[in-house]
């Protein structure tokens, strides 16, 4: 075998364990979900194999699913913007800090050591009627009665931002680390202010990180179901809650499969749009 042929084969040999794992653990189950989506659930809860378009018809034409999908995308977009606004300064601060960078990164990673559900539930002790915020407000005499802060859409977004912020900070931090600090100094020496230097040099160079973090935050928040369940009110369900309900509560695996594929399709389409405008190369750059 020639050296060129061996070099051509080498990446595939190295990639083969990962590709096998992805094939077995992602594509094979996905194939089953696709097959399931064309089956029907009978009145007794058993599945009827075959090729029926009923679930797809329902998932695509019923305004109930469409409205909740749009609502989910809206919540995911707000969460992503909030993460970007809050995460960028934090990432900038860490990237530009001297000496205690490792400690700051450790603090950033610290929440991952605690279960996501526990972190979400911790807001009940903070914002609840008997929570810390109400306790302070009542004891300072600012309010005479506890304020109802939980179980609405803002608290769902708050919970999501709490969960996703570290993902945004890490992505932006990696991008900022790759930006040469002397470029800002060079811009200043040529007459720009610090703000102009940041806006026209650092910010554009760190955009791939921001975009990668944004994509990650958006996809993860669009697929969440724990946060609206714990922190949402009666009408704050997101799309993943519908999938859960179809599969677990109604035991309607075929409809649940169609709904989950629809979410996958919408998020996949958004990734494609992203790729069209920004390119996956930029994303990879952002991911370091």
Partner 1 sequence: MDNTKRYERMRERYLNGDLDRRKFLGLIGAAGLAYGVHTPFARQALAATEQVRFDGWGGVVSEAFRKYAFDPYTKKTGIKVVDGTFGGGDEYLSRVKASQEGEYNIAHLSGVFDYARYANLGLNSTLNEANIPNLKFVIPKLTDVFRSVTDGTLSCVPYDYGTTGIAYNRKYISDEEAKEKGAKLLIDAAYKGKIGGWSDWRTRVWYASLQTDQDPNDATDMDAVWEAVRTNRDLLLKYWQSGAELMSLLAEEEIYVTEGWSGRIYALQEQGKDIGYIDPPNGFGWQECLFVIKGSPMEACEELLNFMLAPETSIAVAEGQNYPPALDPTKVNLGDKIPTLPAFDPTGKLDGLTFANPEYWNSHEQAWSKTFGRIQKGY
Under the rule (CB under 8 A), what is the footprint of partner 1?
Answer: 41, 43-46, 64, 68, 124, 128-130, 148, 150-151, 229, 232-235, 237, 242, 245, 247-253
- Closest CB to partner 1 among residues 116, 198: 116
Q: Token pair for residue 66?
A: 């469409």
Q: Cβ of residue 47: shortest distance to partner 1, in angstroms?
A: 9
* Alpha carbons 202 and 176: distance in angstroms, whole number: 8
Q: Cβ of residue 129: shortest distance to partner 1, in angstroms?
A: 5
Half-sphere exposure (CA, 13 Å, Cβ side) for 234? 0
- Closest CB to partner 1 among residues 177, 245: 245
- Closest CB to partner 1 among residues 151, 198: 151
- Closest CB to partner 1 among residues 189, 250: 250
CB 88 within 8 A of CB 210: yes
Q: Cβ of residue 25: shortest distance to partner 1, in angstroms?
A: 16
CB 79 within 8 A of CB 160: yes
- Closest CB to partner 1 among residues 41, 285: 41
* Alpha carbons 91 and 95: distance in angstroms, whole number: 6
- For 109-145, the three-class secondary structure string (H helix, E strand, C coil) is HHHHHCCHHHHHHHHHHHHCCCCHHHHHHHHCCCCCC
Q: Cβ of residue 42: shortest distance to partner 1, in angstroms?
A: 9
CB 254 within 8 A of CB 55: yes
Q: Cβ of residue 157: shortest distance to partner 1, in angstroms?
A: 16
Q: Cβ of residue 44: shortest distance to partner 1, in angstroms?
A: 4
Half-sphere exposure (CA, 13 Å, Cβ side) for 119? 18
- Closest CB to partner 1 among residues 91, 150: 150
Alpha carbon distance, N-terminus to C-terminus of the chain = 35
């Amino acid at each position: 075998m020639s050296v060129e042929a061996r070099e051509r084969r080498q990446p595939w040999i190295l990639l083969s364990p990962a590709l096998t794992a992805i094939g077995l653990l992602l594509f094979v189950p996905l194939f089953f979900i696709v097959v399931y989506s064309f089956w029907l659930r009978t009145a007794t809860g058993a599945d009827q194999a075959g090729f029926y378009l009923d679930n797809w018809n329902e998932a695509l034409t019923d305004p109930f699913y469409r409205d909740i999908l749009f609502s989910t995308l809206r919540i995911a977009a707000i969460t992503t913007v909030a993460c970007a606004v809050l995460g960028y300064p934090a990432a900038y601060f860490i990237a530009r800090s001297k000496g205690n960078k490792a400690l700051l990164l450790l603090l950033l990673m610290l929440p991952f050591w605690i279960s996501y559900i526990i972190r979400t539930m911790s807001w009940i002790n903070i914002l609840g009627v008997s929570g810390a915020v109400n306790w302070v407000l009542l004891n300072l005499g600012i309010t005479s009665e506890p304020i109802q802060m939980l179980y609405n859409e803002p608290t769902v977004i708050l919970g999501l931002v709490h969960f996703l912020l570290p993902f945004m900070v890490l992505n932006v931090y990696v991008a900022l680390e790759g930006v040469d600090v002397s470029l800002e100094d060079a811009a200043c020496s040529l007459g720009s202010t610090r703000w102009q230097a940041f806006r026209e040099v650092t910010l554009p160079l760190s955009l791939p990180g921001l975009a990668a973090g944004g994509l990650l935050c958006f996809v993860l928040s669009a697929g969440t179901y724990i946060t609206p369940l714990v922190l949402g009110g009666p009408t704050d369900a997101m799309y993943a809650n519908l999938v859960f309900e179809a599969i677990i509560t109604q035991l309607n695996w075929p409809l649940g499969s169609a709904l989950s594929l629809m979410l996958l399709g919408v998020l996949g389409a958004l990734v494609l749009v992203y790729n069209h405008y920004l390119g996956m190369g930029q994303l990879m750059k952002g991911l370091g």
